[in-house]
Amino acid sequence: MARDGYLPTGNKRLARPRRQPYLKGMSSSLSETQAHQAPSIPFDNSYARLPPQFLADQAPTPVAAPRLIKFNEALARELGLDVDALERNGAAIFSGNELLPGSQPIAMAYAGHQFGNFVPQLGDGRAILLGEVKDRNGRRRDIQLKGSGPTPFSRRGDGRAALGPVLREYVVSEAMHALGIPTTRALAAVTTGEPVYREEVLPGAIFTRVAASHIRVGTFQFFAARGDTDSLRTLADHVIARHYPEIRDRTNPYLALLEAVAERQAALIARWLHIGFIHGVMNTDNMTVSGETIDFGPCAFMDAYDPATVFSSIDRNGRYAYANQPAIGQWNLARLGETLIPLIDPSVDTAIDLANTIIKAYGERFQAYWLSGMRAKIGLANEEDGDLDLIQSLLATMQEQSADFTLAFRRLATLAADEDVTDFAATFQDPQSIAPWLQRWRERLGRDPRTAAARGQAMRKVNPAFIPRNHRIEQAIQAAVEDDDFSLFEALLKVLAKPYENQPAFAPYAEPPLPAERVLQTFCGT
C-alpha cells in the first residue's frame, strides 16, 4: 500500500486550552431550586480519559436567545434520559448554555483525506462532545453539539451552524434510522437567536447528535502522520474495547480490527446503494470505524436512476458519485490499513501483505451484500447464477428511461402480488421498454418458492415508499428559514418515520419532484 499523504512531524501533542471562565459562573449561578430541577445525565466519558493529544478541553460558546425547536423524546428514552426535565431545560442544555454535572466537553483531534488530499490536522471545528452515556441496552453512545462555537480546530471558522443544515441533518439522520441504515441520530435542534454569516446572513442553530462514537479513519491518520505508534495502539485498543470486544483476544487483534471495520463498511455502503443514497463527501474524516453513517452535509437521495449522479456542490469531479461510493469505501479502508501497519506485524512487508488481503476482500464482501439486497428488492428468495444479469438489466433500463429509483422498486413490489403492470410501466418514459425485462422476471419468479402475496409483502419491507426527497427537504428548510414555519419540517419527520408503510394521507410525499422542483445541487453546512 502506498503511504501517500503522511507528514511525519514528530510526537507533537495538542495543548489543552483552559476551560472558559464563564463555566464556573454559570454553575454557581444556579439556584438551589434550579439545581434540583436540572436533569441528570449519567455521563461516563471514556474518550475524555484518553491522553491529552487525543483532544482539547473546550466548552461551548453561549448563545443569546436559544429556542428548542425539536426534541427527540423516543431517542432520549432509549438513552435512559429524563425526558421531562430535558424538555423543561432543553433550550439551555442543547445550546450549550448550561452544562450538566458529569459533562466533560471536548473537541476531538483527527486528520483526513479531503477529496483525496491529505490534511494532517482537522479535528472538531464546530462540534463539541458533551460526554458519553450507556443506553438502556448497555451500549455506549456519544452526545455531541454541532454548531456550538469555535474550538482549537476551527481554522479561523466561527464554529457555528446555520438553521438549514441543522434541519437537513435532523431529517436525513432520522430517516436513515427509520430505513434501517446504521446512522448517527438526532436528539435535538435549537435556534440560537444569533445570525451566522455565510454567503448571506442566516439564522443560527445547533444540532445535538448521538453516535456510537465519533472516531473516524481520520482519527487514526492523525497519529500515523506524526509517527506516534503509542497513541495509535491506545486508540486501536479503545476502539476494540468499545466497538469490537469480540476480537480482543484474537492472535492479531489489530488485523482483526481492520477486517471488522471492512465488514461493516461493505454492509453499510451496500445499503446506501439499495435506497439511492449519495453521501456526497466520503472523506476519511467522514468515515466512522463503528460503521455508522455520519455527517449529512451535501448528501442527497437520487430521483431518476443514474449511477453517475452527483449533488454535492463541492464534488466537482464526481469523486463521490452514487456508483463510486463502494470503491471510495475501499480506498478509505486502505488509508486505515496504512495507519495500522506498525501494529499488525513487526515486519512492514508482512503487515502490508496481511492488510492488503483484507482490503482486496472488501470488494467481494461488498458485492455479496449488494447482490443479496438487490435480490430482495426484486423479490427473489433463492439464488441463481443469472440473478446479477437480471438486476443489471433492470437498472440499465431504468437509466435509459429515467425511471425514478424509489418509485420503480416500490411499484415493482406492488406488481409482485398483482398482474396489472400499468403503474410500474408508467415509471418509465416508454412504458413498453420494460416489457422484455418483465417477461424474464416473471419466468425467474416461477422458480421462487414463495407465494405472490408473501413475496409482495417481503418486497415492501425493503423498498421504501418514502425517502427524504431533496425538494421536500428544501421546501421545509425554506419555510423555516424565511417564515419561522416548521410545519413542513414536522410533516416530513412524521412521514419519514414510517418509510415502508403506504400512508395514503402523505401520498404526495412519495412522488418525485416536478421539473421546476428538482434540486440539482446540495451544499456543505460549514
377 is in an annotated binding site: no
Distance CA 460, CA 70 (A): 30
SS3 256: helix
| Beta-bridge partner residues of 145 | 128, 208
Residue 285 is among the residues annotated as catalytic for this protein: yes
Q: Is 81 exposed, middle or buried (0-12, 13-18, 19+ CB in 10 A)?
A: buried
216 is in an annotated binding site: yes
Give me 53's grid cell: 493529544
Helix-, strand-, coil-residue percentages of the chain, each rounded to 5: 45, 15, 40
Torsion angles phi and psi, residue 187, rounded to 5 = -95, -35
456 is in an annotated binding site: no
335 is in an annotated binding site: no
Long-range contacts of 503-507 (CB under 8 A, 24+ apart): 503/465, 503/466, 506/466
Give me 476's grid cell: 421545509
Helix axes 217-224, 229-243, angle to 10 degrees: 160
Torsion angles phi and psi, residue 129, rounded to 5 = -80, 115
Exposure on the CB side of residue 178, measured as CA atoms within 13 A: 23
Residue among 37, 44, 131, 43 at smallest CA distance from 84: 37
Distance CA 197, CA 212 (A): 32
444 is in an annotated binding site: no
Asked if 196 and 238 touch (Cβ cutoff 8 Å), the reply is no
The catalytic residue among 142, 228, 285, 345 is 285
295 is in an annotated binding site: yes
125 is in an annotated binding site: yes
Exposure on the CB side of residue 102, measured as CA atoms within 13 A: 13
Residue among 231, 282, 259 at smallest CA distance from 109: 231
123 is in an annotated binding site: yes
Residue 188 DSSP code = E
Distance CA 387, CA 97 (A): 56
Residues placed in the known binding site: 123, 125-126, 146, 158-159, 209, 216, 286, 295
Q: Residues marked as binding for Mg(2+)?
A: 286, 295
Per the annotation, where are the binding residues for ATP?
A: 123, 125-126, 146, 158-159, 209, 216, 295
Catalytic residues: 285
